[in-house]
Amino acid sequence: MIYLYVILAGLWMALNDQYTLGGFIFGLGLAILVISLLRSINVATPPLSPGRILKGVQLVGYFLWELVLANIRVVPEVFRPTSELRPAIVAIPLSLTEESQIALLANLVSLTPGTLSLHVSEDRSQLYVHVLRLPEEGPAAVVRDIKQGFERRIMEVFAA
């Protein structure tokens, strides 16, 4: 568990661009506090393993790649004088069952330009996503991309 605290403290230093002993100690204290609070409200923190870390890094890499591609697709739409947008709301059937996993998926979708998570059904079986431009293949292409992309990788992180 100590390496999780150290990783989070290092992340804190990187985010604040403070590579000092004081920055590390503050980040370490913050990591201990956050993890303690999460445990006190019964948020499951799965054990960290090398496989889980690798899958997590792959998920982050995939997200960054999708972020770049989405920006490349959306920026021309913004500057185009005539709109060729085909907005739609697509229901994505969910294989994820845990609230934290569904929340992660919804956030990754919303952080990607051109898509926005709107709602999770009451039974948590579907995520409704607004897309700026529906592909020519229709809603099935959006479902396929999200399920084979983000959802599959999230499942791999939590299964590792």
CATH code for position 80:
3.30.70
Q: Are residues 36 and 60 in the same domain?
A: no
User: Per the domain annotation, does 69 fall within a domain?
Assistant: yes
Percentage of the chain surpassing pLDDT 70?
94
pLDDT tens-digit series, residues 65-84? 999 999 998 888 878 877 77
Q: Are residues 34 and 59 in the same domain?
A: no
| Per-residue pLDDT band at 44 (split at 50, 70, 90) | low
Contact status, residue 116 vs residue 110, Cβ threshold 8 Å: yes
**Residue 24 confidence (pLDDT):** 87
Q: Are residues 110 and 143 in the same domain?
A: yes
| Per-residue pLDDT band at 93 (split at 50, 70, 90) | very high
Number of domains the chain is built from: 2
**Residue 18 confidence (pLDDT):** 80
**Residue 56 confidence (pLDDT):** 87
Rounded to an integer, the average pLDDT of 10-37 is 85
Q: Which domain holds residue 35?
A: 2-40
Query: From residue 150, how far is each of 6, 67, 131 by CA, in Å?
Result: 27, 12, 15
* Tokens, residue 154: 């999230």
User: Per the domain annotation, does 21 fall within a domain?
Assistant: yes
* Tokens, residue 53: 């870390």
pLDDT at 139 over 90: yes
Q: Are residues 16 and 69 in the same domain?
A: no
This prediction's pTM: 0.72
Looking at residue 136, the DSSP 8-state letter turns out to be T
- 56 or 2, greater pLDDT: 56
